[in-house]
């Protein structure tokens, strides 16, 4: 089978990226980050009160935060292992961390991150079809979980009586988008005939726009959708459960960093913010990840999280301090580890890429088995 989404040397090629567009998007993203942390967060939080709140943290609170960060980093190595049969855990960890450093550490670096993932999988012996399928599967499941969490947050608000029912609309928005995506995805994967119908319907929906938007004038969505099913069906049929568990583990352990930071600042011996309220704030704020302005929701998620925590009864200073600690603890270590992983891979990539290509008999297009594991 051939790769249906991205062929080597096309959109996953570093040379194929629009440099000018990336620079513009990066500048816009950086501007938004500055505005959010300089103007927006001070309106809903307080840096001075946050500094005062942080002074109350003791050594045990810091140890708990470090422990949660380590667990989070460990879980981050599982998504690509789940999506790539035969890929070792450490290579999966190296792959995901390097891509995180690029995609989230550089405004507009998402496209470069995808290209790096494809390149790394290639040097690990994964064929083009398997690499594209794995990258697509991990990206899709990450989106599904990101949309699922706000729904879980609203359910938590309702079941546990957390104040803030006004945020129900946010959860319903996430639910509506999630249902639409899942229904479309299931229809595509259910049978070739349904995939064809979805493709034909998609062509009809963009029909009125063809004469207005030059880029889609001759665009045919049916063929890519059908080919998407062919490439993804075998992988997802076997590994959807493992992939789901891996992605949920990543998101939940990231929440645990926020919770232990929040309670560490408030003091574990005090009543403080409930587990349900903290989870609801974290979960609903994840919709900020769907706003493709800043890398990793930097600033947008933080501002939403602070506002939600305050709305659920947490003091302004504590909410601001917890959000800042959460961001630093879950972001900075990954950026540093990702850079190290990227440098380590780059040093060996030249030798791996210089090897002759593996024959088709070495790999199974359906399973994506790496043939050069060491």
DSSP one-letter string for 172-221: HHHHHHHHHHHHHHHHHHH-HHHHHHHHHHHHHHHGGGTTT-GGGTT---
Q: How many independent structural domains does the chain possess?
A: 1
Query: Domain for residue 30, yes or no?
Result: yes
Taking alpha carbons only, the member of 106, 100, 103, 133 closest to residue 118 is 133
pTM for the predicted model, two decimal places: 0.75
Query: What would the mean pLDDT of 44-61 be, rounded to a whole number?
Result: 74
Q: Is residue 260 part of a domain?
A: no
CA distance 359 to 278: 52
Give residues with Cβ within 8 angstroms of 227, minimum separation 6: 2, 4
In terms of pLDDT, which residue wins out, 167 or 280?
280
Question: Is the pLDDT higher at 104 or at 122?
Answer: 122
| Boundaries of domain holding 354 | 20-253+275-362
The separation between CA 363 and the C-alpha centre of its own chain, rounded to angstroms, equals 28
Positive or negative, the CA dihedral 347, 341, 110, 373 is: positive
Amino acid 24: pLDDT: 62
Q: Which of 10-24, 155-169, 213-227, 332-346 has the highest mean pLDDT?
A: 332-346
- What single string gives the DSSP state of each residue in 87-109? --HHHHHHHHHHHHHHHHHSTT-
Residue 361 has pLDDT above 80, yes or no: no
| Cα(72)–Cα(349) distance, integer angstroms | 27
Q: Element (H or E) spanning 294, and its range?
A: none
Look at residue 368 and tell me if it is in a domain: no
pLDDT band at 73 (very low <50, low <70, confident <90, very high): very high
Predicted confidence band at 369 (pLDDT cuts at 50, 70, 90)?
Answer: very low
Task: Give the span between the Cα atoms of 269 and 264, in whole angstroms.
Answer: 10
DSSP letter assigned to residue 297: G
* Model confidence at 363: pLDDT above 60: no
Phi, psi of 57 (to 5 degrees): -70, 140
Task: Render pLDDT for 248-301 as a digit per residue (tens, 0 to 9).
Answer: 999 999 999 999 999 999 888 888 888 999 998 998 888 877 776 777 777 788
Q: Is the separation of the CB atoms in 196 and 219 below 8 Å? A: no
pLDDT at 6: 38
What is residue 273's DSSP assignment? Answer: S
Record the tokens describing residue 6, joined without a space: 């991205």
Q: Of 106, 107, 111, 109, which is closest to residue 28 (Cα–Cα)?
A: 107
- Supply the pLDDT for residue 183: 78
Residue 355 has pLDDT above 70, yes or no: no
Average pLDDT over all residues of the chain: 77
Which of 162-166, 212-216, 365-369 is predicted least confidently?
365-369
Could you tell me if residue 267 is inside a domain? no
Residue 24 tokens read as 């513009």
Of 348 and 246, the structure prediction assigns the larger pLDDT to: 246
The residues near 57 (Cβ < 8 Å, ≥ 6 apart) are 264, 265
* CA atoms of 223 and 243, how far apart (whole Å): 26
134: in domain? yes
The tally of CA atoms less than 13 A away on the side-chain side of residue 173 is 11
Q: Has residue 372 got a pLDDT over 60? A: no
Residue 219 forms part of a structural domain: yes
What per-residue confidence (pLDDT) applies to 234?
76
Which whole number is the average pLDDT over 42-64?
75
Residue with tokens 């005090």: 270
Least confident of 72-81, 143-152, 224-233: 224-233
pLDDT at 354: 54
In a domain, 143, yes or no: yes
Which contacts of 18-21 are long-range, i.e. CB under 8 A and separated by 24 or more positions? 21/108
Domain membership of residue 266 (yes or no) is no
């Amino acid at each position: 089978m051939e790769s249906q989404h991205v062929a080597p040397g096309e959109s996953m090629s570093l040379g194929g990226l629009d440099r000018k567009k990336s620079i513009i998007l990066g500048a816009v993203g950086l501007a938004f980050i500055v505005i959010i942390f300089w103007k927006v967060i001070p309106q809903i939080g307080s840096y001075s009160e946050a500094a005062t709140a942080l002074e109350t943290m003791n050594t045990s609170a810091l140890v708990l935060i470090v422990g949660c960060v380590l667990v989070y980093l460990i879980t981050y190595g599982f998504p690509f292992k789940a999506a790539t049969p035969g890929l070792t855990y450490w290579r999966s960890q190296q792959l995901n961390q390097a891509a995180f450093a690029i995609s989230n550490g550089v405004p507009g670096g998402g496209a470069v991150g995808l290209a790096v993932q494809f390149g790394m999988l290639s040097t690990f012996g994964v064929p083009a079809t398997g690499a594209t399928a794995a990258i697509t599967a991990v990206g899709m499941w990450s989106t599904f979980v990101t949309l699922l969490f706000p729904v879980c947050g609203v359910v938590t608000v309702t079941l546990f009586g957390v104040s803030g029912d006004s945020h129900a609309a946010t959860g319903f928005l996430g639910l509506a988008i999630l249902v639409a995506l899942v229904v479309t995805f299931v229809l595509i994967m259910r049978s070739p005939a349904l995939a064809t119908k979805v493709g034909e319907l998609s062509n009809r929906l963009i029909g009125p726009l063809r004469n207005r938007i030059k880029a889609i004038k001759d665009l045919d969505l049916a063929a890519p959708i059908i080919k998407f099913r062919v490439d993804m069906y075998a992988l997802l049929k076997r590994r959807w459960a493992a992939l789901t568990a891996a992605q949920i583990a990543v998101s939940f352990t990231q929440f645990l960093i926020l919770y232990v930071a929040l309670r560490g600042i408030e003091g574990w011996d005090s009543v403080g913010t409930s587990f349900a309220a903290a989870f609801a704030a974290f979960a609903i704020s994840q919709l900020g990840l769907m706003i493709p302005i800043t890398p990793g929701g930097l600033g947008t998620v933080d501002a939403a999280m602070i506002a939600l925590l305050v709305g659920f009864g947490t003091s302004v200073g504590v909410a601001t301090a917890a959000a800042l600690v959460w961001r630093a603890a879950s972001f900075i270590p990954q950026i540093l580890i990702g850079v190290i992983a990227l440098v380590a891979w780059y040093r060996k990539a030249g030798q791996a890429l210089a090897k002759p290509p593996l024959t088709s008999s070495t790999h199974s297009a359906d399973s994506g088995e790496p043939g050069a594991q060491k």
